[in-house]
Amino acid sequence: MRAQHVSALSVRSFRNIAQADVSLGPRFNVVSGDNGQGKTSLLEAVYVALTSRSFRATKIEESIAFGATQALVRARIDSDDGARWQSVGLRRGGRDLRLDDKRPRSSSEFATRAPVVVFHPGEISLSAGSGAERRRLLDRVALFSSPSAGDELARYTRAVRSRQAALESRGAGSSDLGEWEELSAVHGARVVEARRRALAALAEVAQSTFGELLPEVRFDLVYSATAPSDVADFASELRRSRSIDVRRGSASIGPHRDDLRLELGGKASRRTASQGQHRAIVLSLKMAELAAVGALSSLRPVLLLDDVSSELDRARSTALFSLLSRASGQVLLSTTRPEIIETTGDRVDFVVRAGAISPL
Ligand SMILES: Nc1ncnc2c1ncn2[C@@H]1O[C@H](COP(=O)(O)OP(=O)(O)OP(=O)(O)O)[C@@H](O)[C@H]1O
Ligand SMILES: [Mg+2]
C-alpha cells in the first residue's frame, strides 16, 4: 500500500474558521480545544478537501461561514510521486472541484484520489439508526470497488426523481413514466451490484473485528434489496406501484430504500442490540471501511477521529486503541483533552480557539 498524507491545509470562510493555513505531520496530528472552538470544523475541512462532501449530515452549503458567500478548502497531498493540491470551493448552490488546477472528470474521480475514513460520534446511527448511514457506507466503498458506481447512483437518483415529478404533476397515466422506470431499473440494478461488491469487501474484516470485541455473538451483514435484481422485473414492479407512489411521495422500491441489515445471533441488531453491542458494530464497520478502502485503492487512507472524549469506557478505549494501532497512515484526531491521547511515533499538536488554529 502506498503512503500519502495531507501536508498542508488552507481554509477560508469555512464554518467558524475565517482563515487558516496549517502544516500537518505525516503521522499523528492532535487537535485540541474547548467545546465549540472549531475542532470538528477543522477535521470537516480536511474531509471536504479530500472528498468534496461533508461528514456532518447537513447540506454542504451549511459549512460556509455565516455572513460569507463562499468558502474554500485546499489540501496539499504529499506522496512518493511528489506533491499535488486538491481544492473545493463552495458557493450556495454549487461546488467547484480542482485536482491541481484542473477540473476532475467527475466527483467520484475527485473523491478517490486521496482516500479518507472518518470516525465521529454521530456514527452510532450506523448501527442504531435508519438505513441512510449504512447505504452511504456502501456507496462510499463502492466508489473504490466499482469506478462507475458514483455516476450510476447519480443517474439512478435523477431517473427516480424525474419519475416521481411526472407522477405527481401528470398522474399515473403520464406517457413518459415508462421511460423513467426503465432508466431507474437499469441504473438502480447497477447501484445494487456495486453495493454488493462493496459489502463483499467489507464483510470479512467487519466480522473478524466484531469477533475480537464480542466473541460470544455472531455478527452478520446482509444486503436487503427492495427491488427485483432483474431489470425488466424491477421496471414492471415500478409500473405496478405508480398509484401507491403518488400517495407516498417517493418510489416504494429501489436502492434508495434498501438496507444493509446487521444481525446479531440472526436477529436485526438495530432495535435489539445493547449500547456496547452497537458500539462494537460501529467500530467493526469503520475498521472494515479502513481496510476495504485501503485494499481497493492500494493507498493508505487518512484517518480522521473526531471527539476522542475523556470519558472512554472500556469498550471505546479498546476500540480506539485498536483503530489507532491499525491505522498506519496519517491520523488527525480532535479532543478536549490532549493529555489522554497516547501515541507512539511522530506527533504534532495544535490548539483551536475561536476558529484560530495554532501549533503548540
Ligand atoms: N456555518 C457556520 N459559520 C460560522 N460558525 C459556524 C457555522 N457552523 C457552525 N458554526 C460554529 O462553529 C463553532 C465551532 O464548531 P465545532 O463543531 O467545530 O466545535 P468543536 O470544537 O468541535 O466543539 P465540540 O468540542 O463541542 O465538539 C460553533 O460555535 C458553531 O456554532
Ligand atoms: Mg466537535
Task: Select from 23, 92, 21, 36 the least CA-distant residue to 307.
Answer: 36
Looking at all shown ligands, the one closest to residue 63's CA atom is: 1
Give the number of whichever ligand sits closest to the CA of residue 15. Answer: 1
Judge whether 143 lies within some domain.
no
Asked whether residue 229 is domain-assigned, the answer is: no
Residue 282 falls inside a structural domain: no
> Could you tell which of 11, 16, 336 is best to mutate to test the pocket of ligand 1, judged by most ligand atoms within 8 Å of the CB?
16
Ligand 1, atom 7, residue with closest C-alpha: 15
Confidence band (pLDDT; 50, 70, 90) for 312?
low
The confidence score (pLDDT) of residue 201 equals 97
**Which one has a higher pLDDT value, 1 or 20?**
20
> Whose atoms come closest to the Cα of 44: which ligand?
1
Distance 167 CA to ligand 2 centre (A): 42
pLDDT tops 90 at residue 318:
no
Which range is least confidently modeled, 56-60, 168-172, 205-209? 56-60
Are 218 and 264 in contact, with CB atoms under 8 Å apart? yes
- Write the pLDDT tens digit of every residue in 96-127: 999 999 999 999 999 999 999 999 988 889 99
CA of 325 to the centre of ligand 1 (A): 29
Does residue 197 fall inside a structural domain?
Answer: no
Q: Cell numbers for 275, please give them.
A: 449500547
Which residue lies with its CA nearest to atom 25 of ligand 1?
35
| Ligand 2 centroid distance, CA of 39 (Å) | 6
Q: How far is ligand 2, taken at its centre, from the CA of residue 177, in Å?
A: 45
- Once rounded to an integer, what is the mean pLDDT over residues 319-341? 82
Q: For 41-91, how does the pLDDT look when each residue is reduced to its tens digit (9 = 90+)?
A: 999 999 999 999 999 867 889 999 999 999 999 999 999 999 999 999 999
Q: Are 296 and 141 in contact (CB under 8 A)?
A: yes
Lowest mean pLDDT among 11-15, 263-267, 344-348: 344-348
pLDDT of 310 strictly over 60: no
Q: Residue by residue, what is the 3-state secondary structure of the chain?
A: CECEEEEEEEEEEECCEEEEEEECCCCEEEEECCCCCCHHHHHHHHHHHHHCCCCCCCCHHHHECCCCCEEEEEEEEEECCEEEEEEEEEECCEEEEEECCECCCCHHHHHCCCCEEEECHHHHHHHHCCCHHHHHHHHHHHHHHCCCHHHHHHHHHHHHHHHHHHHHHHCCCCCCHHHHHHHHHHHHHHHHHHHHHHHHHHHHHHHHHHHHHCCCCCEEEEEECCCCCCHHHHHHHHHHCHHHHHHHCCCCCCHHHCEEEEEECCEEHHHHCCHHHHHHHHHHHHHHHHHHHHHHHCECCEEEECCCCCCCCHHHHHHHHHHHHHCCCCEEEEECCHHHCCCCCCEEEEEEECCEEEEC
CA 131 to chain centre: 14
**Average confidence (pLDDT) over 10-31:** 97
Q: Give the percent of the chain with pLDDT over 90.
A: 83
Alpha carbon nearest to ligand 1 atom 28, residue: 36
335 CA from centroid of ligand 2 (Å): 8
Say which residues have a Cβ less than 8 Å from residue 301's Cβ, sequence separation at least 6.
115, 116, 117, 290, 293, 294, 327, 329
Query: Ligand 1: which of 13, 14, 15, 307 to mutate, most ligand atoms within 8 Å of CB?
Result: 15
Is pLDDT at 19 greater than 80 in this prediction?
yes
Average pLDDT over residues 343-358: 93
Counting residues of the chain whose pLDDT is more than 70, the rounded percentage is 96
Residue 295 banded pLDDT, cuts 50, 70, 90:
very high
Pairing of strands 4-14, 70-79: antiparallel
Lowest mean pLDDT across 48-62, 159-173, 191-205, 229-243: 48-62
Ligand 2 geometric centre to CA of 358 (Å): 17
Q: Report the pocket of ligand 1 as residue ranges, CB < 6 Å.
A: 15-16, 33, 35-41, 62-66, 307, 336
- Report which protein residue has its CA nearest ligand 1's atom 18: 38
**Do 300 and 26 contact (CB within 8 A), yes or no?**
no
Chain-centre distance for alpha carbon 330: 18
**Could you tell which of 12, 32, 39, 54 is best to mutate to test the pocket of ligand 1, judged by most ligand atoms within 8 Å of the CB?**
39
What total of structural domains would you count in the chain? 1
Greatest distance between any 2 Cα atoms in the chain: 66
| CA–CA dist 360, 352 (Å, integer) | 10
Q: In what order do the strands lie in the sheet with 94-99?
A: 17-23, 4-14, 70-79, 82-91, 94-99
Q: Which three cell numbers stand for residue 101?
A: 488546477
Question: What pLDDT score does 216 carry?
Answer: 93
* Chain-centroid distance, C-alpha 279: 18
- Judged by its nearest atom, the ligand closest to the C-alpha of residue 37 is 1
User: What pLDDT was estimated at residue 113?
Assistant: 95
19 found inside a domain:
yes
In a domain, 72, yes or no: yes
Q: So what's the pLDDT on residue 213?
A: 86
Residue nearest atom 11 in ligand 1 by C-alpha distance: 16
Domain holding 308, by residue range, is 1-115+302-360
CA of 40 from ligand 2 middle (Å) equals 4
pLDDT score of 341: 83
On whether residue 68 sits in a domain, the answer given is yes
Give the model's pLDDT for residue 321.
Answer: 67
Residue 149 included in any domain = no
Ligand 1 centroid – CA 356 distance (Å): 12
When pLDDT is averaged across residues 229-244 and rounded to a whole number, the result is 98
CA of 38 to the centre of ligand 2 (A): 7
CATH number of the domain enclosing 315: 3.40.50.300
Strand order in the sheet with 259-264: 219-224, 259-264, 267-268
Question: What mean pLDDT comes out for the span 136-157?
Answer: 96
CA distance 14 to 42: 9
The atom number, within ligand 1, closest to the CA of 307 reads: 27
Ligand nearest to the CA of 38: 1
